[in-house]
Amino acid sequence: MDTAGRQPNLAFEGEDSFDMTGQNLASHRRIAGKALTVLTMVFAAAVVLPLAWVLVGVFQRGAEALVFPDIFTQLPPPPGLSGGGVGHAIIGTLMTLGVAIAISVPFGVLAAVYLAEFGRGTKLAYLVKFSANVLAGVPSILMGLFAYTVVVLPTGTFSAFAGGVALAVLMLPIIIRATEEALLLVPNEMRWAATGIGATRFQTVSRIVLPAALTSIITGVVLSVAQAAGSAAPLLFTAFNNNFWSTDLWRPVATMPVLIYFFSIIPYQASQQLGWAAALVLLVIVLLFSILARYFSRKKVI
């Protein structure tokens, strides 16, 4: 009788022990969750703070020398003198980026279409994708050496076209990756429907798949342009520099990144201040490209 009478007590004691264990486990999970949340915020701040420091520093020092509309309409003054602008460098930057877009976008989109639609699983597609991934990790200065070898040496002169070729190689892997991912996100049902009504493979890709992925493709192009706009190393070997107005694709031109580099090493305060103003203009241009890419990325693929 005593043994039988104690069994319910043992059962209650076991339930109490189970409840205590569950409460301890829940408490440990809450503590671990809070600790990981704090750690995540610390790492996020470690990423955001350097960016904020750069933005604030460039805005503070660049705004002091930024004079409208001289910064867009005038040439730099002789070293040591104040005033002037960087209008010729803005035009040169637009020229090189225009050449880069005209070269990289067709090649990048067509390569991505082959990878996603026609050559999936083939050895050639694997080679193209592997080459694009390797190219994405190559230092940008090597892009300049490549363009110097294939354009500058044969033509015998630095030029905006050579700078555009260097930037096009820099932009190419970004466009290929973004376009391929966008095409793979298009549902196969859309392809099957087009095939079912008699469309050829080419018609399906050109009239159905590409328009459906257009916003994501534009996002990749805009991001690649934003990265290329701030690259100085490839342009030092190709476009080089020019202190005068120039719209000739086959002549040296001034560009914003190279101008900032040269003005930063000139031992004159006025020239350095103009370099900070040019850095602010370039930063605003890159931020606008990034915001534009964010706008397109918020839209759906289909």
Q: How do residues 192-222 score in pLDDT, each as one tens digit?
A: 998 888 888 889 998 999 998 988 899 889 8
In this prediction, residue 230 carries a pLDDT of 86
**Cα dist from 287 to 33, 104, 262, whole Å:** 35, 21, 23
Q: Is 58 exposed, middle or buried (0-12, 13-18, 19+ CB in 10 A)?
A: middle
What Rg value do the Cα atoms of the chain yield, rounded? Answer: 29
Q: How many CB atoms lie within 10 A of CB 301?
A: 16
In angstroms, how far is CA 67 from the centroid of its own chain? 29
Q: Are 194 and 203 in contact (CB under 8 A)?
A: yes
Domain 70-297 has CATH 3.40.50.800: no
Q: Residue range 120-129: average pLDDT?
A: 89
Q: Residue range 253-261: average pLDDT?
A: 93
Higher pLDDT, 93 or 17: 93
* Residues in contact with 79: Cβ distance below 8 Å, sequence separation at least 6, in sequence order: 266, 268, 271
Q: Are 120 and 106 in contact (CB under 8 A)?
A: no
The least confident of 24-28, 126-130, 140-144 is 24-28
The least confident of 19-23, 32-36, 42-46, 172-176 is 19-23
In this prediction, residue 20 carries a pLDDT of 61
In this prediction, residue 287 carries a pLDDT of 86
- The position carrying tokens 């592997």 is 130
Position 180 confidence tier, pLDDT thresholds 50, 70, 90: very high
For the chain, the domains span 1-65, 70-297
Q: Are 186 and 302 in contact (CB under 8 A)?
A: yes
Q: Is 143 exposed, middle or buried (0-12, 13-18, 19+ CB in 10 A)?
A: buried
The least confident of 41-55, 59-73, 263-277 is 59-73
Q: Is residue 296's pLDDT more than 70?
A: yes
In this prediction, residue 9 carries a pLDDT of 52
Q: Is 225 exposed, middle or buried (0-12, 13-18, 19+ CB in 10 A)?
A: buried
> What is the residue type of 49?
L
pLDDT in tens, 49-89: 888 888 888 888 888 777 777 888 888 888 878 788 899 99
Q: What mean pLDDT value characterizes the chain?
A: 86
